[in-house]
C-alpha cells in the first residue's frame, strides 16, 4: 500500500507541474464537467504534548505521524439550471492499518486477504443544485452531502486541515450582489424505528440529531460584510443509554462584521459575538445552557512593491462553566474550524470553550505571494479559573508559531511549521513541573 501511495503521489505531483489548474471535459450536449482533486501529505511530530515529560512523572508521548488526504471529484452542469458534484475522499495515516505484509516472509499467509486492511473510500460530498427556483434569479437549493462554511468558520467550518467536515441535508441559497441569505437543515444522526445495535426497543422511536438555521449577510463597498444568524442544534431524543444529554436543544444567536485583508486595502478587521439559549435534558430536570463567545482581530497592511506585510492583534473569549451554578455556562463550539486563521495557535491542543486568547501576529508575503512567512504569539488562559493544590489558577502560558509556505505554482504548495507552548501557572500547579509542548510539521499540498 505504501509503495502504491508514493508512486501515485509522485505521478500526480509531476503531472501538476505541467497541467492547468483544472481538467475539463465536454459531454455530447456541450455541457462542461470539471475533474478536481486534492492530495495532501504531512509529517507531524509532537513532543510533550500534555506538558508533562517523562522526567517529571509523565509518559513518553513524543511521537510522529504521517497523515494524508486524497480527494477526487467531478462537478458540472447537467442542464441550464441543474448542477451536481460527487467528491470521494480518503483520510488516514501511513501504516494506520496492518496488512501483515510488513512482517516479512514470516507473516502468516492465512491473513492474506480477510485481514488485509486497505483504507475505505468515503463519499465526502454528493449533491444536486437546482438554480433559479420558482423563476427567481439567484435562488438555489442544494440537496445532499455538502460542505458548509460560514464567515471565519467560528461556528461552521470545513476542518480542511484535518479530516474535513460535511453535512447531509438541504441548503437554500439566495445570493444577490449586495446580500446573501442562507437557510439549511442537516441531519447529523438518524436512528429511527427499532435498532438493536443501539438497544432501541420500540418501533418508531426517534434517535435523531439535527442542525438547522439561517444566516444573512449584507455586503458594503468599503466596510466589509455584516451578518446575523441563528443556528439550532437539536440533540439526541428519548431514552437511548448512549445519550448524554437527551432531548437537548441549543439555539445560537450571533452577529459579525468582517472586512478581510485585500491586496489594496490598508486595514482589515473581524468582530463576532454569539450566545447560547437552550437546555440539556428534559424538564423539569433540564440544565439551562447559556454560554457565549466573542472573537475579533484588527490588521494593518502595507504593500511595498511585490511584497505584502500585515500586522494584527486578536482576542478570543469562549465562556467556561461556573461550577458554583446550576446552569451550564460553557460555550458549545458546534462545528467550528479551530485551526482556521491561526485560532489559538497551530499547536491545536485547545478548543473554543473555556478559553481566552490574546494574540499578536505578523504575516509577510513576497515575490507575488510565492513565499509566505507567519509569526504569531498567543497568551492563553482559562475563562473560568480552577482550584488547584496551590490556589486558584487560570494561566495556560504562552504559545507561539513560525510558519513558512512556498507556492511552487497554482497547483502545488509546501508548508513548514514550528509551534511551541510554554506552560503557565496552571500546568505547573497541576503537573508539578511542566515542560514545553512542541509540534513540528511539514506538508505538501496538491490541488487541481
Q: Which domains does the chain have, with CATH numbers?
A: 49-59+124-447 (2.40.160.100)
pLDDT at position 116 over 50:
no
Q: Which of 83-97, 168-182, 229-243, 415-429 has the highest mean pLDDT?
A: 168-182
Reported as a pLDDT band with limits 50, 70 and 90, residue 111 is very low
The residue written with cell numbers 444536486 in the block is 128
Burial per residue of 65-80, b for 16 or more beta-carbon CB atoms within 10 angstroms, e otherwise: eebbbbbbbbbbbeee
pLDDT digits (tens, 9 = 90+) for 48-66: 888 877 665 556 678 888 9
C-alpha grid cell, residue 355: 478559553
Return the pLDDT at 241.
Answer: 44
Reported as a pLDDT band with limits 50, 70 and 90, residue 325 is confident
d(CA 108, CA 386): 53
The separation between CA 381 and the C-alpha centre of its own chain, rounded to angstroms, equals 22
Return the pLDDT at 279.
Answer: 83
Q: What DSSP assignment string belongs to 161-215?
A: TTT---EEEEEEEEE-SSEEEEEEEEEEE---S-BGGGTB-STT----EEEEEEE
Return the pLDDT at 59.
Answer: 64
Tally of CB atoms within 10 A around 118: 11
Return the pLDDT at 101.
Answer: 46
pLDDT digits (tens, 9 = 90+) for 125-150: 999 999 999 888 899 999 999 999 99
Reported as a pLDDT band with limits 50, 70 and 90, residue 221 is confident
More confident residue, 406 or 19: 406
Average pLDDT on 187-200 reads 65
Average pLDDT on 153-175 reads 95
Return the pLDDT at 135.
Answer: 86
More confident residue, 402 or 338: 402
The candidate with the shortest Cα–Cα distance to 358, out of 404, 312, 320, is 312
Return the pLDDT at 56.
Answer: 57
pLDDT at position 360 over 80:
yes
Q: Which residues pair with 370 in a beta bridge?
A: none
Q: How many residues does the chain have?
A: 448
Give the dihedral sign, CA 77/142/174/73: negative
Q: Identify the H or E element spanning 65.
A: strand 63-65
pTM: 0.85
Question: Both ends of the chain: CA-CA distance in Å?
Answer: 23
Alpha-carbon separation of residue 131 from 106, 136, 139, 301 (angstroms): 60, 9, 6, 39
Mean pLDDT over each residue of the chain, to the nearest integer: 83
Average pLDDT on 386-394 reads 83
Average pLDDT on 99-110 reads 44
d(CA 347, CA 341): 13
Any idea which of 21-35, 174-188, 228-242, 298-312 has the lowest mean pLDDT? 21-35
Q: Are strands 391-407 and 179-189 parallel, antiparallel or unpaired?
A: unpaired
More confident residue, 198 or 135: 135
Average pLDDT on 309-329 reads 92
pLDDT at position 255 over 90:
yes
Amino acid at each position: 500500500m505504501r509503495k502504491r501511495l508514493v508512486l501515485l503521489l509522485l505521478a500526480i505531483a509531476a503531472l501538476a507541474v505541467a497541467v492547468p489548474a483544472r481538467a475539463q471535459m465536454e459531454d455530447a450536449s456541450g455541457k462542461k464537467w470539471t475533474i478536481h482533486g486534492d492530495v495532501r501529505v504531512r509529517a507531524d511530530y509532537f513532543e510533550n504534548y500534555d506538558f508533562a515529560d517523562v522526567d517529571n512523572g509523565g509518559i513518553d508521548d513524543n511521537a510522529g505521524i504521517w497523515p494524508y488526504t486524497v480527494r477526487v471529484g467531478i462537478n458540472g452542469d447537467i442542464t441550464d439550471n441543474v448542477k451536481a458534484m460527487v467528491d470521494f475522499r480518503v483520510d488516514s495515516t501511513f501504516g494506520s492499518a496492518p496488512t501483515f505484509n510488513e512482517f516479512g516472509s514470516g507473516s502468516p499467509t492465512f491473513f492474506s486477504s480477510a485481514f488485509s486492511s486497505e483504507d475505505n473510500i468515503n463519499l465526502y460530498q454528493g449533491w444536486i443544485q437546482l438554480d433559479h427556483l420558482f423563476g427567481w434569479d439567484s435562488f438555489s437549493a442544494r440537496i445532499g452531502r455538502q460542505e458548509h462554511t460560514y464567515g471565519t468558520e467560528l461556528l461552521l467550518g470545513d476542518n480542511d486541515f484535518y479530516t474535513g467536515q460535511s453535512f447531509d441535508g438541504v441548503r437554500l441559497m439566495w445570493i444577490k450582489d449586495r446580500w446573501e441569505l442562507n437557510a439549511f437543515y442537516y441531519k447529523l444522526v438518524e436512528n429511527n424505528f427499532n435498532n438493536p445495535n443501539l438497544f432501541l426497543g420500540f418501533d418508531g422511536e426517534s434517535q435523531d440529531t439535527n442542525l438547522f438555521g439561517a444566516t444573512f449577510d449584507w455586503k458594503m463597498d468599503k466596510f466589509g460584510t455584516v451578518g446575523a444568524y441563528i443556528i439550532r442544534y437539536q440533540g439526541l431524543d428519548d431514552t437511548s443509554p448512549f445519550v448524554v444529554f437527551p432531548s437537548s436543544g441549543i439555539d445560537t444567536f450571533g452577529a459579525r462584521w468582517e472586512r478581510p485583508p485585500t491586496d489594496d486595502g490598508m486595514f482589515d478587521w473581524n468582530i463576532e459575538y454569539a450566545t447560547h439559549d437552550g437546555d440539556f435534558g428534559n424538564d423539569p430536570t433540564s440544565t439551562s445552557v447559556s454560554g457565549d463567545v466573542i472573537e475579533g482581530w484588527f490588521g494593518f497592511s502595507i504593500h511595498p512593491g511585490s511584497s505584502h506585510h500585515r500586522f494584527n492583534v486578536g482576542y478570543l473569549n469562549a465562556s467556561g462553566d461556573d461550577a458554583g451554578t446550576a446552569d451550564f455556562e460553557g460555550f458549545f463550539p458546534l462545528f467550528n474550524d479551530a485551526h482556521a486563521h491561526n485560532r489559538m495557535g497551530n499547536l491545536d491542543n485547545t478548543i473554543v470553550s473555556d478559553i481566552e486568547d490574546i494574540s499578536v501576529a505578523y504575516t509577510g508575503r513576497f515575490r507575488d505571494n510565492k513565499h509566505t512567512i507567519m509569526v504569531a504569539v498567543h497568551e492563553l488562559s482559562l475563562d473560568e479559573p480552577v482550584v488547584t493544590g496551590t490556589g486558584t489558577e487560570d494561566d495556560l502560558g504562552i504559545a507561539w508559531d513560525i510558519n513558512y509556505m512556498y507556492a511552487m505554482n497554482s497547483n502545488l504548495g509546501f508548508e513548514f511549521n514550528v509551534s511551541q507552548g510554554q506552560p503557565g501557572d496552571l500546568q505547573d500547579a497541576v503537573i508539578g513541573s511542566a515542560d514545553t509542548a512542541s509540534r513540528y510539521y511539514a506538508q505538501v499540498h496538491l490541488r487541481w
